[in-house]
């Protein structure tokens, strides 16, 4: 049974480049399908039958690779940087495939960052529909009260709109110190959202570490190191289950790939 796929999506799955860059390659005439240059944006192909070449070389899909990487602070969540700063790709492993960050951690933050060569996986992890949880350990400074904790939980107003309710708990609160460790569990992926939430209630973030994305945990992975995801972790990212709507049953999980 044939299954059509957008050409730029197929090229990205083959590890040629990101989807956006693949669209540029198609527009510039670097790509042919069955010997012809595609004439329209959004061209679809059948990967089982069509022959796709990039600059005269046949491209084929790569094996799915997903790794958990412990991003150190002062490292960019990017493939490359014009200022030649360290990126998660330059510090990460060379596995012979083109990897991309699945989402981001800001420059000063640290912790779990997924890297993959699969655009579909990236889209599913980041898509608001699936509400994939992100868990963070956050060390804050400032006058911390139960009222502030309640505001963080209910959501705060930011420049780009209010935040959704968050699960925020006190992880560690020294008796004689003002610095408190909080645990945030959120489903939003807005830029610097936790830092901005804390700033909005008068708190400063001293340290921010992501420890979980969905069912994938950082564990005891050391900064700058990586590990491959197991089959269950991969499947949870490839087939996320959207939260059930009120009055409806949850969808059945698909079995893990063998």
Say what the pLDDT of residue 110 is. Answer: 98
My answer on whether 228 and 116 are in the same domain is: yes
My answer on whether 138 and 203 are in the same domain is: yes
Please tell me the distance from the alpha carbon of residue 7 to that of residue 180, in angstroms, as a whole number: 50
Please tell me the distance from the alpha carbon of residue 243 to that of residue 201, in angstroms, as a whole number: 29
Residue 251 lies in a domain: no
Model confidence, pTM? 0.81
Q: Average pLDDT by consecutive 10-residue portion of the chain (258 residues)?
A: 81 84 92 90 88 93 92 94 91 89 95 92 90 96 92 95 96 77 95 96 96 97 96 93 70 58
Q: Which residues are catalytic?
A: 106
My answer on whether 125 and 227 are in the same domain is: yes
CATH number at residue 14: 3.10.290.10
My answer on whether 80 and 39 are in the same domain is: no
Residue 249 lies in a domain: no
My answer on whether 174 and 157 are in the same domain is: yes
Residue 246 lies in a domain: no
Number of domains in the chain: 3
Q: Which domain holds residue 16?
A: 5-58
Give first-to-last CA distance, the chain, whole Å: 21
Residue 250 lies in a domain: no
Output the CA torsion sign for 59, 20, 192, 79. Answer: positive
Say what the pLDDT of residue 247 is. Answer: 62
Locate 73 and state its tokens: 């602070």
My answer on whether 144 and 168 are in the same domain is: yes
**Long-range contact set of residues 33-36: C-beta below 8 Å, sequence gap at least 24:** 33/7
Say what the pLDDT of residue 244 is. Answer: 74
């Amino acid at each position: 049974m044939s299954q059509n796929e957008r050409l730029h999506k197929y090229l990205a799955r083959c590890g040629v480049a990101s989807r956006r860059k693949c669209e540029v390659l198609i527009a510039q005439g670097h790509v042919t399908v069955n010997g012809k240059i595609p004439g329209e944006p959004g061209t679809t192909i059948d990967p089982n039958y069509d022959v796709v070449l990039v600059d005269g070389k046949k491209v084929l899909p790569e094996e799915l690779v997903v790794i958990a990487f412990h991003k150190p602070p002062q490292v960019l969540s990017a493939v490359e940087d014009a200022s030649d700063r360290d990126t998660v790709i330059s510090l990460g492993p060379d596995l012979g495939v083109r990897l991309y960050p699945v989402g981001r951690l800001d420059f000063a933050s640290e912790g779990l960052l997924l890297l993959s060569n699969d655009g579909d996986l990236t889209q599913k992890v980041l898509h608001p529909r699936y509400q994939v949880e992100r868990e963070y350990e956050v060390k804050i400074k400032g006058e911390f009260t139960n009222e502030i904790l309640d505001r963080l939980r209910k959501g705060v107003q930011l420049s780009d709109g209010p935040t959704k309710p968050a699960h925020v708990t006190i992880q560690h609160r020294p008796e004689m110190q003002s610095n408190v460790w909080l645990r945030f569990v959120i489903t939003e992926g807005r830029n610097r959202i936790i830092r901005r939430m804390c700033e909005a209630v008068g708190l400063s973030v001293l340290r921010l570490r992501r420890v979980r994305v969905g069912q994938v945990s950082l564990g005891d992975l050391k900064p700058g190191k990586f590990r491959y995801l197991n089959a269950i972790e991969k499947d949870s990212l490839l087939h996320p289950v959207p939260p059930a709507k009120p009055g409806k049953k949850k969808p059945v999980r698909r079995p893990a790939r063998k």
